[in-house]
Amino acid sequence: MSLHALSPTASALKTKLESFVNTRCIPAEKIYDEHISKFAGGDRWTAAAVPPIIDELKKEAQQLGFWNLFLPHQLPNHLVSSNNNSIKISPSIYLSNREYGILCEVMGRSSLAPEACNCSAPDTGNMEVLLKHGTKEQQAQYLLPLLQGNIRSTFLMTEPDVASSDARNLETKLTKIVGSDGRVRYVLNGKKWWSTGAMDPRCKVALVVCKMDYSHPSCAAEQHTAKQQQRGHQTIVIVPMSHPGIKCVRALTVFGSDDAPHGHAEVSLNNIELDETAVILGEGRGFEIAQSRLGPGRIHHCMRAIGLAARCYELMLERTMQRQTFGKFLHEHGSCREMIADSRSDLEAARLLTLACADDIDQLGAKGARDKIAMIKVAVPEYTSRVVDRAVQIFGGAGVSSDFPLARALVGLRTLRIADGPDAVHKVTLAKLELRKAKKRMQSKI
């Protein structure tokens, strides 16, 4: 079966989605930017700053059957039955990771399309965590409104004072306290940054990665060895953004842009008291949860990146047939043709590698596809960045302006080399897996 193959139903949905993205989402980008440009300073993070056009697009996406397409399987009955909203939270069709990846590429062509379809990060990853690991109560309180698109969420992991690519370095602590009556409570303290969406006025819940702290006298029986303190302590808790102990300290900029009204924030967590209902899956299960979140999420990120790069590539082709230098159209110069060929090759390589990874996840599960998951995390941002960089070069001064999507695309793709862990970490993972395979081959020859 071809990696590009879709069922007739999925193929028809893809055709509709392409029309929606090209005729509604891409033209709406200018309207979106013009609205947010009217606000300055702290006003950029208010409800008034959220462009109304996004809600219009969401309503259209719901009606057209594009809502929550990322969902991997049917929702629990208790969620469906408790959905009193007019919004149908179940997707119009359930797709494999590979099929959804193909549609992700289409969505990736516009910065607005993923959110319009309720398929944008970090919400999809957080919804998948709550769907897979959350209790019925956690799902009813947080997952349902996320599925409805009534709220947004954030994922708090990275910290400013340590190298967060090694999760063992995290300093945010969840101190466990056992009362005399046996009841358990926790106190959360720490500092996070690059918390995507935390300052969005629609963000109502945070999933926080923290390290268990059993130093309180009531937990003497749970003291861990030094090795266990380094590994297995990561825990994920749910914190409502309305809690007085959580504070957005400042908005962060990415190459000078604040990406309001969604953006990224530095967040302080001060003496946040929680009970056992805030813990997802259990103490020390954070690494397990985070890994389950990242597998399919990498497919989503990579295919959206490919869609964005493909849009820039098409703009580059058009530019080469519109502009002339030294008596020739740009595409008639040998150097330009070389850039076109290299870009087409990079796009196809990125696409095939990602779809092959998605197919492995479908067939083997995320654990069985660890090698390709690491590959795409490294290769796709690099390949797609090269495509967009060439497009910028072809456009010249216009390429680095805000008149075209090229500059913003280049910034986003460069950031992907750090998001969800830097390239170096994934190269180490891939090398270890390859060496392990090689060792087994060598041993089998003895």
C-alpha dihedral (352, 113, 14, 319), degrees to nearest 10: -70
405 touches 411 (CB < 8 A): no
To the question of pTM greater than 0.75 for the whole model, the response is yes
* pLDDT in the model for residue 159: 97
* pLDDT in the model for residue 414: 96
d(CA 191, CA 201): 20
Q: What is the per-residue pLDDT across 360-376, written as a single tens digit (0 to 9) for each?
A: 999 999 889 999 999 99
* pLDDT in the model for residue 230: 52
Counting as low any pLDDT under 70, the low residues of the chain are: 223-232
